Amino acid sequence: MAANKVLKAQAREGVGKGAARELRRQGRVPAVIYGDKKSPVTVSVAFNEALKYIYAGGFKSHILDLDVDGTVHTVIPRDYQLDVVKGEPIHIDFLRVSANATLHVDVHVNFINEEQSPGLKRGGTLNVVRHTVELIVPAKSIPEEVTVDLTGTEIGDSIHISAVTLPKGVKPAISDRDFTIATLVAPSGLKSEEAAAGATEASETTEE
């Protein structure tokens, strides 16, 4: 298992909108650490570091070691707020994570072997229904991605979660149905040809 990334933070005493605005003027983002049956801890992180982590992707599906003035808290980002105009982080919530914790996380879906799909070779289009899948995972083994193999897929095929091999101990959060991740749809030209062929066949049948 790879080591957790480390994010530096500083403890903060002031709370409320005024204190938060002052922190942002200083180039820092207010944040809070909560959970694991412990009292919340208010902290702040450097604006540039927060921005980098958030826009790198997968921010809410990676465990971090949050170093608060030398005290390390193992956490997972649970939520963050962005300025509606600038798209800049203005607050982050971190959830404490114990070694044996089980988490719900959204994991990126990666499609492989497009060149081995007869349907795509015929001009079909991959219609992605879910770019991420919510999984229930052990905190110590969160998968980086969910891999969907497109080998052998044809136009009209639907790819469901049951077709995906998940790591040991990992299961979908949605358990009451075999939900769709993607479909292969026909290109508009092929649809028109099939529709025309169907109309011709129907006409010939009527004439007979």
* Predicted confidence band of residue 199 (pLDDT cuts 50, 70, 90): very low
pLDDT digits (tens, 9 = 90+) for 18-52: 888 899 999 999 999 999 999 999 999 999 999 99
Q: Is the pTM of this model over 0.85?
A: no
Q: Please give the order of strands across the beta sheet that includes 132-138.
A: 146-149, 102-112, 132-138, 171-172
CA-to-CA dists, residue 77 to 51, 103, 160, angstroms: 13, 12, 28
Q: How far apart are CA 177 and CA 37, in angstroms?
A: 33
All structural domains of the chain, each given as residue ranges with its CATH number in brackets, are 5-98 (2.40.240.10), 103-200 (2.170.120.20)
pLDDT 10s digits, 113-129: 999 999 999 999 999 99
Cα distances (Å, whole numbers) of residue 132 to 25, 92, 100, 189: 35, 21, 24, 30
Note the pLDDT tens digit of each residue in 152-161.
Answer: 999 999 999 9
The residue written with tokens 């820092």 in the block is: 28
From the CB of residue 1, how many other CB atoms can be counted at a distance below 10 Å?
A: 7
End-to-end CA distance of the chain: 70
